[in-house]
Amino acid sequence: MRKLEVVMSPALLPYYKVAGKSVVVIDILRATSSMCVAFKNGVEKILPVSSPEECRIFKDFDFVIAAEKDAIKVDGFDLGNSPFDFDNYLLDGKSVAMATTNGTKALKYAQEHGAKNIVIGSFLNLTQVSNWIKSVDDDIILLCAGWKDKVNLEDTLFAGAVCDNLQHDLTIDCDSALSAKLLYQANKDNLEDLVRMSSHAKRFQLLHLQTDDIKYCLQIDFAPVLPILKGVYLVNDAK
Ligand code: MLT
């Protein structure tokens, strides 16, 4: 049977064999949730880039530019990293260039380590991602973006939800996947309470975030899209 592994932080990725495997990149608060919302609103493609400086260049090439640093929208950009920024019908048909502290970084890291396919996972597209994993032949790595190489609760919970969905289809023989699955199973009926205890939730409180991004990002299957990396762009491959 194919293997399903969970990597709880990008810092741990070098300890795994990535080449030839498919990787699901996870940044629940908020990069991968926002990417799903962008595609739900008709965005044509997303170019993940490494830094706000690099991202800014694409303004001259007709991209909508989105950048966040330390959970704050960077000055001079069209969008930050809140899903509410991307929940806008005016984005229909647009190309977006996007730089975030952890999410786009994790994606680039998976690419550098030789991932065969890279898809974007969030609670908003949980069933799409689970079905896609069932449909491919590869071993799977669920890569949590975490926060600056530290483990976080919300990404681990989502990895656990995928493990729970797929436990009869793939072999779970790593302790991080087992831990994520058990954490999710013990808390699946009160995900929001748990995520509100997380360090990123505290960061949002300190920033006096005006929108309830946590509630938004926990809406299971709200954006049934399948962002997948094709060349340098993420595109929506939902069937
Ligand atoms: C990131 O990619 O670093 C996060 O999504 C940060 C954020 O929530 O703004």
Instruction: Please say whether the dihedral angle defined by the alpha carbons of residues 215, 219, 222 and 227, taken in this order, is positive or negative.
Output: positive
- Can you give the pLDDT at residue 209? 83
Q: What is the DSSP letter of 101?
A: S
- Can you give the pLDDT at residue 215? 97
The amino acid present at 114, given as its one-letter code, is G
pLDDT one-digit tens code per residue, 111-148: 999 999 999 999 999 999 999 999 999 999 999 999 99
**Parallel, antiparallel, or unpaired: how do β-strands 64-69 and 72-73 relate?**
antiparallel
Q: Is 100 in the pocket of ligand 1 (CB under 6 A)?
A: yes
- Can you give the pLDDT at residue 208? 80
Mean pLDDT of the chain: 96
Q: Is 155 in the pocket of ligand 1 (CB under 6 A)?
A: no
State how far the Cα of 230 lies from the Cα of 119, in Å rounded to an integer: 10
State how far the Cα of 66 lies from the Cα of 185, in Å rounded to an integer: 34
Q: Is 32 in the pocket of ligand 1 (CB under 6 A)?
A: no
- Kindly give, in sequence order, each residue whose CB lies less than 8 Å from that of residue 60, ignoring residues fewer than 6 positions away: none
pLDDT one-digit tens code per residue, 181-232: 999 999 999 999 999 999 999 998 898 888 899 999 999 999 999 999 999 9
Please report how many Cα atoms fall inside a 13 Å half-sphere around the Cα of residue 64, on the Cβ side: 20
How many CB atoms are closer than 10 A to CB 72? 14
Q: Is 101 in the pocket of ligand 1 (CB under 6 A)?
A: yes
Q: Is 71 in the pocket of ligand 1 (CB under 6 A)?
A: yes
- Can you give the pLDDT at residue 205? 87
State how far the Cα of 134 lies from the Cα of 140, in Å rounded to an integer: 10
C-alpha distances in Å from residue 162, one per residue of 6, 78, 156, 209: 10, 33, 10, 29
Which of 28, 49, 100 most suits a substitution to test ligand 1, by most atoms within 8 Å of the C-beta? Answer: 100
Is 71's pLDDT higher than 80? Answer: yes
Which of 46, 69, 84, 102 most suits a substitution to test ligand 1, by most atoms within 8 Å of the C-beta? Answer: 102
Distance, CA of 233 to chain centre: 15
pLDDT one-digit tens code per residue, 19-55: 999 999 999 999 999 999 999 999 999 999 999 999 9
Q: Is 153 in the pocket of ligand 1 (CB under 6 A)?
A: no
Nearest Cα neighbor of 118 from 23, 19, 3 is 23
* Ligand 1 center to 70 CA (angstroms): 7
Which ligand 1 atom lies nearest to the CA of residue 29? 8
Would you say 18 and 202 are in contact if contact means Cβ atoms under 8 Å apart? no
- Can you give the pLDDT at residue 3? 97
